[in-house]
């Protein structure tokens, strides 16, 4: 029997026996649906973490010196937290020492953060992320100015009350007008808006545009940290290799300033985007390892159901098999007929599972900050699994049908 004819016959059987076909399809459908959905979400997360989260939050070829780790994964004991709290603060003098120790091609910046209330005219908000920074931060973060300008080195030196704001702050406080030149009060201190940064977007649904950046030497220092204390010292290099060299230099400077002996551990942290990526790599590898096991269980169950349905079909169509054999059908024709029917059942379920999996991934993307990335390889694997499960599950029923004696089959009632 030609393959196309066998597939058409199998599809006709599916239409004629809808309930049996539904139970035959359900195993492959569920397994492939979750395969496609999970792979799409995990693949999207891979791209999101590498290109958006790590790059936007930490920067490329950039590391951050801080009192405690910028990113904390896993269970952190109380003893570890207490040890972090006992660490010395970072000071503006540390920033000056690091900048003096590194060649001029490196960018070095201070950043101290706090969340404060902002007021402009009659409008106010309690959720503005304010930062006291030095001028290199704009280059490190690769901020583009939408209107106005960034503040100058002279304004930092003199502690001028100027501020650069994000797009969300501009929209919230200065709707329908140019914010440049207007006054924005942060924690009660008046600042003149000198620039607006281009929209940065979101990370995991959290806006990156609700911020206000002022010189670290301005009045903002009174609301972000105690006198001369800073949260982070950020260093950006041109290449990965030069970043590693800078890390060694900075580590030496900080250990010297903290008077650490060679055997003592660092009492400060240096965080890079690789720390985030390596942790995410562990999570994604676990997901990719566990996924085949979960899908495999579903497909095994689906295969057993298909095999039982096909055995019932052989019993119900014994007389049909006898008639076909008496008309000249060979054993391999009967075998092929039932194998194709079984494979068609599971492949139909797999195709439906692929469509449902893509729809599920899009639904997750629509109702949550989780992204999705369509993986062509997972679609191909889903189809192959559908065909494979059907063929394997159909071997035994097809073999029984092919071995039926035509005389006995014709007598079957």
| pLDDT tens-digit readout, 154-173 | 999 999 999 999 999 999 99
Mean of pLDDT values over 312-317: 70
At residue 133 the predicted structure's pLDDT band, cuts being 50, 70 and 90, is very high
Mean of pLDDT values over 61-75: 79
Exposed, middle or buried by CB within 10 Å (0-12, 13-18, 19+), for 143?
middle
Average pLDDT for the chain: 81
For the cut 80, the answer to whether the pLDDT of residue 12 exceeds it is no
48 vs 227: which has the higher pLDDT: 227
225 vs 11: which has the higher pLDDT: 225
- Give the rounded percent of residues in the chain with a pLDDT score beyond 70: 80
Adjacent-strand bridge partners of 202: 207
What is the per-residue pLDDT for 3?
61
Choice among 132-146, 172-186, 396-410 with the minimum mean pLDDT: 396-410
All residues at 6 or more sequence positions from 383 whose CB lies less than 8 Å from its CB, including other chains: 347, 350, 351, 354
Alpha-carbon gap, residue 296 to 374, rounded angstroms: 21
At residue 319 the predicted structure's pLDDT band, cuts being 50, 70 and 90, is confident
Return the structure tokens found at 193: 């808006």
- If residue 214 lies in a helix (H) or strand (E), which one and from where to where? strand 211-215
What is the per-residue pLDDT for 330?
75
What is the per-residue pLDDT for 184?
94
55 vs 43: which has the higher pLDDT: 43
Mean of pLDDT values over 216-223: 92
All residues at 6 or more sequence positions from 112 whose CB lies less than 8 Å from its CB, including other chains: 131, 132, 133, 216, 221, 224, 225, 229, 230, 231, 232
Mean of pLDDT values over 13-26: 69
Read off the pLDDT of residues 349-377 as tens digits, 9 standing for 90 and up.
888 888 888 888 888 777 766 667 777 77
In 3-state terms, what secondary structure has residue 281?
helix
Instruction: Please report, for the chain, the start and end positions of each structural domain, with discontinuous segments joined by +.
Output: 3-53+280-411, 88-267
For 66-203, where are the alpha helices, taking DSSP H only? 78-85, 92-101, 136-140, 153-157, 167-173
All residues at 6 or more sequence positions from 214 whose CB lies less than 8 Å from its CB, including other chains: 130, 131, 132, 133, 151, 161, 162, 163, 164, 186, 191, 220
Read off the pLDDT of residues 194-219 as tens digits, 9 standing for 90 and up.
999 999 877 666 778 899 999 999 99
Angle between the N-to-C axes of helices 318-326 and 273-316, in degrees from 0 to 180, rounded to the nearest 10: 70
Choice among 15-19, 24-28, 105-109, 141-145 with the minimum mean pLDDT: 15-19
Say how many C-beta atoms besides its own lie within 10 A of residue 113's C-beta.
15
Mean of pLDDT values over 317-344: 73
Q: Record the pTM.
A: 0.64
What is the per-residue pLDDT for 202?
73
221 vs 53: which has the higher pLDDT: 221
In 3-state terms, what secondary structure has residue 317?
coil
| Spatial contact of 121 and 176, defined as CB atoms under 8 Å apart | no
Return the structure tokens found at 346: 């599971």
């Amino acid at each position: 029997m030609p393959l196309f004819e066998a597939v058409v016959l199998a599809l006709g059987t599916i239409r004629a026996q809808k309930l049996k076909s539904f139970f035959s399809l359900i195993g492959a459908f569920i397994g492939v649906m979750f395969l496609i959905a999970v792979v799409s979400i995990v693949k999207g997360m891979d791209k999101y973490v590498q290109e958006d989260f790590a790059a936007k939050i930490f920067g490329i070829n950039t590391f951050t010196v801080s009192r405690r780790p910028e990113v904390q994964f896993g269970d952190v004991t109380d003893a570890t937290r207490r040890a972090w709290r006992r660490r010395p603060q970072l000071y503006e003098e540390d920033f000056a020492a690091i900048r003096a120790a590194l060649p001029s091609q490196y960018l070095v910046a201070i950043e101290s953060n706090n969340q404060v209330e902002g007021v402009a005219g009659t409008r106010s908000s309690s959720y503005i992320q304010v930062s006291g920074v030095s001028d290199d931060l704009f280059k490190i973060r690769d901020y583009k100015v939408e209107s106005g300008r960034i503040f100058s080195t002279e304004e930092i030196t003199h502690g001028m009350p100027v501020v650069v704001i994000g797009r969300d702050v501009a929209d919230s406080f200065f709707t329908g007008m140019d914010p440049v030149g207007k006054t924005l009060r942060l924690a009660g201190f008046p600042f003149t808006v000198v620039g607006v940064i281009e929209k940065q977007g979101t990370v995991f649904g959290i806006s990156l545009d609700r911020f206000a950046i002022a010189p670290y030497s301005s009045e903002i220092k009174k609301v972000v940290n105690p006198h001369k204390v800073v949260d982070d010292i950020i260093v950006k290099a041109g290449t990965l290799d030069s970043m590693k060299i800078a890390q060694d230099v900075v580590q030496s400077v900080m250990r010297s300033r903290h008077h650490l002996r060679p055997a003592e551990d660092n009492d400060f942290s240096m965080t890079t985007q690789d720390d985030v990526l390596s942790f995410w790599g562990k999570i994604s590898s676990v997901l990719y390892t566990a996924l085949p096991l979960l899908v495999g269980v579903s497909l095994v169950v689906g295969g057993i159901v298909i095999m039982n349905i096909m055995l019932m079909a052989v019993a119900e169509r014994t007389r049909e098999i006898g008639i076909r054999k008496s008309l000249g059908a060979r054993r391999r024709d009967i075998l092929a007929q039932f194998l194709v029917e079984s494979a068609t059942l599971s492949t139909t379920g797999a195709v439906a599972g692929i469509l449902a999996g893509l729809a599920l991934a899009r639904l997750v993307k629509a109702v949550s900050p989780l992204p999705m990335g369509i993986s062509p390889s997972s679609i191909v694997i889903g189809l192959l699994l559908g065909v494979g499960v059907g063929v394997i599950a159909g071997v035994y029923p097809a073999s029984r049908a092919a071995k039926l004696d035509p005389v006995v089959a014709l007598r079957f009632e």
